Structure 1
């Protein structure tokens, strides 16, 4: 093992893959933990505080929100406890939605399981040093998605400008699924006032229901 090594946790639900990858990694990389699902991954990562986590995107786990991958859930649960740890996604999938989803969740790179041990090692060392790592095809997905996100953010800002500060508060609570009475209690206003604000929000945003409002807010990442 090299005198100065990069400490890594490997997270994948297939033990044979973990063993093979561990054997193929460069001598400068020290594997300090392994995990097979969301719960064991969070424990391994927070316990070892590695430099890099090689993280499978699609992991089994309890309590993973609908529409969220297991890998993204690991980052959500563990990242705050290990601020110096970087996550490198490793998956059989090269779908745009998988790539973009884990990058938005906090991964510093994304490589596929078809990569050689040498390629994975180079990616680990690059991510450990602060670089972002993607294959050319996957990098295109990220550039397209985040270029679009800039436009979406500007559009959302323009739409939010139509709402007063109070209407924005009500909008976010309603979009998160709060009942009118709960919104009223949280903001110290009457239920009737909440109803008036919701009507104004729907009218100004040209929406017809609170379900459309939730979809609108989710699409603009306002929740």
Structure 2
């Protein structure tokens, strides 16, 4: 069988090197590209046409969720497997909505990463054990009841909610960009998307809506 072609996307070079070494130590893999942010990831996927993209979520510039949406739109035959530190329901379901086929937590064992990549390459969906239990509970309607309120503004991405939270806290674009390791242009683009999704006319109305939902607090 042909080897599974993989693109590695993570803003930390050490993580990418570790993943490359891991995959190259296993039979049946070829790492065909790497990227350190979402924009570079989309470009690398279009150039190399891999079978699987191993994708981080939080990265400077375009994050992994936005990159996943772009990849699934442009190259729907490419499977995206999230590999992230974010063990949050909001991030898991945002990744699913973006088109990811799997969700693993960093720290997964070599055998688990190997199994997950092969699964998504074969068209299956796969999640880390703890994440899978929460996904099953959610779709079975048995998720632990209102112990934790749902995130406000579910129509926003994780990154957009982070930006809105900082706007509601009174930060200007330059400070938000510095805090989230983004360019000011990217922050402005996020704000335009936020205003459109919330149907508000601008920053002032967005702040009011955000504070009403509890964002912007220390």
Q: TM-score if structure 1 supplies the norm length?
A: 0.60
What are the ranges of 5 or more consecutive residues in structure 2 without an aligned counterpart?
A: 142-195, 211-218
The match for 1:9 is 7
Q: Quick one: distance in 1 between partners of 2:199 and 2:19? A: 43
What are the ranges of 5 or more consecutive residues in structure 1 without an aligned counterpart?
A: 63-69, 149-173, 180-209, 216-223
State the 1:23 CA deviation.
0.7
Counterpart contact for 1:89–1:109, Cα < 8 Å: yes
The match for 1:113 is 106
Provide Cα deviations, 1:116-136, integer angstroms capped at 9, x if missing partner. Answer: 222211110111011111122
The match for 1:34 is 34
Counterpart contact for 2:102–2:125, Cα < 8 Å: yes
Provide Cα deviations, 1:50-109, integer angstroms capped at 9, x if missing partner. Answer: 1110000112215xxxxxxx1110012221221110110001121211111101111111
The match for 2:78 is 85
Question: Are residues 1:140 and 2:133 paired?
Answer: yes
The match for 1:51 is 51
State the 1:178 CA deviation.
8.2
Provide Cα deviations, 1:17-61, integer angstroms capped at 9, x if missing partner. Answer: 111111112221111110001111111112111111000011221
- Distance change in 2, residues 1:99/1:27 (3 Å): same
Counterpart contact for 2:56–2:82, Cα < 8 Å: yes
- What SS class does the counterpart of residue 107 from structure 1 fall into? coil
- Distance change in 2, residues 1:29/1:97 (3 Å): same
- What SS class does the counterpart of residue 89 from structure 1 fall into? strand
- Distance change in 2, residues 1:138/1:45 (3 Å): same
> Over the residues paired in the alignment, what is the CA RMSD in angstroms?
2.4
Alignment size in residue pairs: 149
Counterpart contact for 1:9–1:45, Cα < 8 Å: yes
State the 1:141 CA deviation.
2.3
- Distance change in 2, residues 1:175/1:13 (3 Å): closer
Q: Quick one: distance in 2 between partners of 1:175 and 1:74? A: 19
Counterpart contact for 2:71–2:78, Cα < 8 Å: no
